[in-house]
Structure 1
């Protein structure tokens, strides 16, 4: 079990999946890049964001997802057959925080925003040979969980941890759910990430990712086909704003991943109103088609020097500093076989960090609203 957990920890979060498993000699042959796909698609308008991000509004039925060979005859599902029960139960918390915003693009009805010529896409293409030849190091702090899973939910404190700009390391926080034997793990990841080398800036950016463990192929956002977007306004790969300030205002994003009990598609929603972004069709997967059996909630750093010049996780401060100073995750829940949000079983989790000198987890508790923790640390950024 420990060996399996170690392998899964290595697959945590979207950029790690992208760098270590997602792009190799066979990827561009099997899956086209988004930039190539959009040449053949109809779009109504191009939107340039204040931070320079560029999005094309694409017909929802002609988005990149449907260029995947397994989705040629896929009929788009605009909303789930049902949400998990228990979403209306709100927990009380003595401190106040506000939901942060994902990048909002005003696409017309019937369209979805697709990031055009993203910095991530361009820089990754130019640097992938260098990255893939380096030994990938990683560190983490959070909660690992082993059980049958039909969804996961958490409220995530958003910070912009410091990451060196002159290397290929990154820091990210989010949720992972996966299933499969060693070497063939299907995985779904939702996170915010700071990755200057790839994104070209030090902003917190929102990403989704998935891995086909059988083909050993991975994808982030719309950079290759797979994820079906239904939201006309959420820009994947865009900034999360505002972010929390140490000893100041605190901002969060609430993320829900859940399996549609009828179609078996894996849906993604965010915010207190559970606003739908899109879904991963069940046909993309082999191992996670029916359910997940592992999840991770927390922060993670990865890259060629992530253990040597370890970036910050969360606020960059140890968990013991508490609210307003250390990053937190609250209301961590899972969806059970009855499509109900429930508190995870405390006997099936593993709470901790890869290196206590760099990162920590503190304030761990569990109640009827879920699991809660503070986590993060300064790493050894110099």
Structure 2
């Protein structure tokens, strides 16, 4: 089924995303080595964050994206030709929330930040990938599936940091995906925050972007290989999301928007209340997403060797029925139509649910002029 393949693509976010096809992993390894060489030669400034992450600032014109063969003659686009219509409309929300922030790095003008990964870290990472690819993986999800013509998607996402054991091999992810294509040839874009201690080395929420070219059988995470063109000199992909929500306490959100430029057909990524541009996927990367998307998913996933048997947290780890401040939520879920206008999704094209109602739930689903809204998550009784 198309939806099963689409969910599988999103579930294998970040490093796990590459495990689905052995050819992908080998291709990515080659590209990662190339990007490391580029970084080593072009570093303008190195910045160490308070949390220990190290970012290298490199010339934006020499970033890994332009090493992709399809982008050989690509013209660097600093901003979209236009934003979706209706973007500045403020939605009403009864509860007070604060905005979480992605890692902020002050690279010089004309530079972009790239998270540094040591060769030793890469060896350990790929060893973990190889081990996981040989085991029977389990998966669970909770959220909203949507089938329609899509030229963009957005949502306000409640940020929680799932509690995980330091030796866990499971991945927890919350975010949005947009796809197009038949089974086994799906072009996909995923943007999310995740916790994956067995792969990333820590138990923090980290923001990632992923894209997949289903026809050419290629995948990529963040700036680890050529493809995504970053324009922001201050946003660090792969970095921590801060602050995070507290059960029955302060609530934090991130606002995410992805939309297709109606003139260039490039897919732009923006975040925050001010819709700060991070960068874009050139349309030439995608045989099918070049035109439009036909499927989207908003929600949470868990994936790994114990994702079903041990039931890791989705969202806050509490059931959707607990409501605001206790269960995780997504609100202001909208799509961009073929007139480049933000609109409320057609409720008749929505599928709401979870992979296992005894472990994960969706509740409080509503549709109004500001979009769709829902609570989701679990399993509080198993933590």
**In 1, are the aligned partners of 2:145 and 2:350 still within 8 Å (CA)?**
yes
Residue matched to 1:357: 358
Corresponding residue pairs, total: 379
Q: For structure 1, which segment, 154-163 or 336-345, has the greater mean C-alpha deviation from structure 2 after superposition?
A: 154-163
Q: For structure 1, which segment, 320-329 or 126-135, has the greater mean C-alpha deviation from structure 2 after superposition?
A: 126-135
CA distance in 2, matches of 1:126, 1:35: 19
Q: 1:379 to 1:186 in 2, by over 3 A?
A: farther
CA distance in 2, matches of 1:167, 1:326: 23
Q: What aligned pairs does 1:69-218 form with structure 2 within 5 A after superposition?
A: 69-117=69-117, 121=122, 123-218=124-219
RMSD, matched Cα: 1.7
5+ residue gaps in structure 1?
Answer: none
Q: For structure 1, which segment, 354-363 or 127-136, has the greater mean C-alpha deviation from structure 2 after superposition?
A: 127-136
CA distance in 2, matches of 1:122, 1:282: 32
CA distance in 1, matches of 2:34, 2:50: 25
Residue matched to 2:241: 240
**C-alpha displacement at 1:30, in angstroms?**
6.0
Q: 1:62 to 1:243 in 2, by over 3 A?
A: same
Q: For each residue in 1:92-117, what CA deviation from the matched residue of structure 2 results, as whole angstroms up to 9, or x when unmatched? A: 11100011011000100000001111
Residue matched to 1:67: 67
**In 1, are the aligned partners of 2:56 and 2:114 still within 8 Å (CA)?**
yes
CA distance in 2, matches of 1:124, 1:290: 35
CA distance in 2, matches of 1:183, 1:373: 30
CA distance in 2, matches of 1:115, 1:243: 21
Q: 1:120 to 1:318 in 2, by over 3 A?
A: farther
Given the two structures, how large is their TM-score scaled by the length of structure 1? 0.95
SS at match of 2:4: helix
CA distance in 2, matches of 1:337, 1:7: 25
**In 1, are the aligned partners of 2:31 and 2:225 still within 8 Å (CA)?**
no
Q: Work out which of the residue numbers 9, 12, 17 in structure 2 matches 1:11.
A: 9
SS at match of 1:44: strand
Q: What aligned pairs does 1:31-50 form with structure 2 within 5 A after superposition?
A: 32=33, 34-39=35-40, 41-50=41-50
Q: For structure 1, which segment, 22-31 or 8-17, has the greater mean C-alpha deviation from structure 2 after superposition?
A: 22-31
**In 1, are the aligned partners of 2:154 and 2:255 still within 8 Å (CA)?**
yes
**In 1, are the aligned partners of 2:32 and 2:224 still within 8 Å (CA)?**
no
CA distance in 1, matches of 2:21, 2:345: 30
SS at match of 2:284: helix
**In 2, are the aligned partners of 1:320 and 1:374 still within 8 Å (CA)?**
yes
Residue matched to 2:285: 284
**In 2, are the aligned partners of 1:313 and 1:379 still within 8 Å (CA)?**
no
Q: 1:206 to 1:31 in 2, by over 3 A?
A: closer
After the TM superposition, list the runs of 4 or more consecutive aligned residues in structure 1 that deviate by more than 6 angstroms. none
**In 2, are the aligned partners of 1:123 and 1:199 still within 8 Å (CA)?**
no
